Amino acid sequence: MLNMLADEKPEPSLSEMARSAAHGEDSPYFAGWRAYDEDPYHPIVNPSGVIQMGLAENQVSFDLLEEYLREHQDCGGGFRQNIVFQDYHGLRSFRMAMASFMEQIRGGRARFDPDRIVLTAGATAANELLTFILANPGDALLVPTPYYPGFDRDLRWRTGVNIVPVICDSSTGFQVTAGALQAAYEEAAAAGMRVCGVLITNPSNPVGTTVERAVLEDILDFVARNSIHLISDEIYSGSVFALPDMVSVAELVDERGDDGMAGRVHIVYSLSKDLGIPGFRVGVVYSYNDAVVAAARRMSSFTRVSSQTQRTLAAVLSDTAFAARYIRANRDRLRERHDHVVAGLARAGVGCMRSNAGLFVWVDMREMLDEATVEGELRLWRRVMAETKLNVSPGSSCYCSEPGWFRVCFANMSLEILDVALRRMSCFMERWNSARQ
């Protein structure tokens, strides 16, 4: 007989994974997003609403893509073959177009083999996939701080793998040092964790800088010495708008030739940032290790790219002339936007880390802290949020070891809205400075 008394029924159990908080959504990074969702800025309807500066999206160049698609209408051939195409190798034409695009972004300084490209639904899935493939539950990935808050979910939640931070600070411009790598390695070992690899983001999110060549060489040497893996998330590789040029691990692998290192190097990419199409869910796992490519391809069954999207983008990206124009224009526009923001902030009396890439600036408000702690930073953050209604991301949500840094996105809005944001920041700083006097 069924027990109809609802009060007596115990909660039907879900898995521990479902009940855990390892999805990371309780972080301040996401709290700011919620504040925006509840009170979003609109120039006419809600001019005092929250301006979203916590979302690293690229909206400065979408018109180029839109125009291209309008001018190159889909002529309809191959519709039926396309809708049934579910081969986890992915459309060959699309993989070739991706390989070519990745080469163009790197100025032809590295070669990519289309048969090493595995498609996933976004970089979120690509990072998780590589973690499942390279690490056992309980193992550790060494990740330089500050890092993208989403990694907590992508690398740890369902995989059971740990992140051990590689502490970087402003004294080196947040570049990784050999000493920091070693310290992290030892920390993991002391905690009884087997280190399976290092995961870097190049260019960096949230700092917006490219990894220096010498640092990259150090990282590769460290990885080789310890027989572990290197995952290089190069999702912002097309967003390098100023010198120095980005040096990709792909270049170093090509340079070092067949020294046995290649089997340990894996690259993650996505079109979400460079092309501004996060909705299309296009991610790539690129590995120099055949066994990893094979495993990734099989595992991509859980997270494939829509054949409709593959076909559309294959047409766009295989037009190398367009791709070259796009890359150039995108860089120019990002540089303009970046310079505009840096100048606006400087006029307001706020400094940033010098950066050459990404869709954000790494703002230095250390001097404004009441105390140099995470709590002090969060107090300042809440105040900035409340008074300026700008959703910026506190460095502590990115695990930055130095309190007082904030990531401020600048490419996800129109110039007009950006100027509103800069004015608000300016007013805030005026009030702040006069209160100090």
Partner 1 sequence: MAGKPELLSRMAAGDGHGENSSYFDGWKAYDENPFDLHHNRGGVIQMGLAENQLSLDLIEEWSKAHPEASICTVEGASQFKRIANFQDYHGLPEFRQAMAQFMGQVRGWKATFDPDRVVMSGGATGAQETLAFCLANPGEAFLVPTPYYPGFDRDCCWRSGIKLLPIECHSSNDFRLTKEALVTAYERARSDGIIVKGILITNPSNPLGTTTDRATLAMLATFATEHRVHLICDEIYAGSVFAKPEFVSIAEVIEHDVPGADRDLIHIAYSLSKDFGLPGFRVGIVYSFNDAVVACARKMSSFGLVSSQTQHFLAKMLGDEEFMAMFLRESAARLAARNERFTAGLREVGIGCLRSNAGLFSWMDLRGMLRGGEKTAEAELELWRVIVRKVKLNVSPGTSFHCREPGWFRVCHANMDDETMEVALDRIRVFVRQHQRQQAKAQRWAAKGQLHLSLQRHAGIASQYHALSSPMAALLSPRSPLVHAAS
Q: How far is the CB of 99 from partner 1 (least distance, A)?
A: 17
CA dihedral 320, 325, 328, 334 (to 10 degrees): -120
Provide the mask over 115-134, with x wherever binding to partner 1 is found by CB under 8 A and - wherever it is not.
------xx-xx--x---xxx
From 200, 219, 235, 327, active-site residue? 235
Amino acid identity of 163? I
With vertex at residue 74, the alpha carbon angle to CA 68 and CA 82, rounded to the nearest 5 degrees, is 125
The answer, yes or no, to whether the previous bond of 206 is cis (omega within 30 of 0) is yes
Residue 57 interacts with partner 1 (CB under 8 A): yes or no: yes
Least separation in angstroms between residue 191's CB and partner 1 is: 19
Of the candidates 407, 402, 349, 406, the residue with the CA atom closest to the CA atom of residue 372: 402
Identify which of residues 344 and 358 has a Cβ nearer to partner 1 in the complex.
Answer: 358
- The per-residue b/e assignment along 117-129, b for 16 or more CB within 10 angstroms, e otherwise, is bbbbbbbbbbbbb
Shortest CB 187 distance to partner 1, Å = 22
Nearer to partner 1, 166 or 292 (CB): 292
Residue tagged active-site, from 29, 41, 147, 148:
148
Cβ neighbours for 136, distance < 8 A, ≥ 6 positions apart = 161, 194, 196
Q: Tell me the C-alpha distance between 207 and 218, whole Å.
A: 20
Using rule CB under 8 A, residue 175 touches partner 1: no
To the query of whether residue 233 is one of the catalytic residues in this protein, the response is yes
Nearer to partner 1, 296 or 341 (CB): 296
Is 235 an active-site residue? yes
Distance CA 386, CA 406 (A): 15
Options 18-26, 234-242, 378-386, 398-406: segment touching partner 1 (CB under 8 A): 18-26
**Residues of this chain, 299-358, that bind partner 1 according to CB under 8 A:** 299, 301-309, 312
- Our finding on whether 397 is near partner 1 (CB under 8 A) is no
Alpha carbon distance 361, 410 (integer Å): 8
Under rule CB under 8 A, residue 436 binds partner 1? no
Catalytic residue among 139, 152, 154, 233: 233
Clarify whether 290 is annotated catalytic. no
Q: Which of residues 228-287 bind partner 1 (CB under 8 A)?
A: 229, 258, 262-264, 272, 276-281
Q: What is the DSSP string of 305-320?
A: PPHHHHHHHHHHHT-H
Check binding of 288 to partner 1 (CB under 8 A). yes
Q: Report, in Å, the least distance between residue 158 CB and partner 1.
A: 6
Question: Which positions ≥6 away from 382 have C-beta within 8 Å?
Answer: none
Active site residues: 148, 233, 235, 273
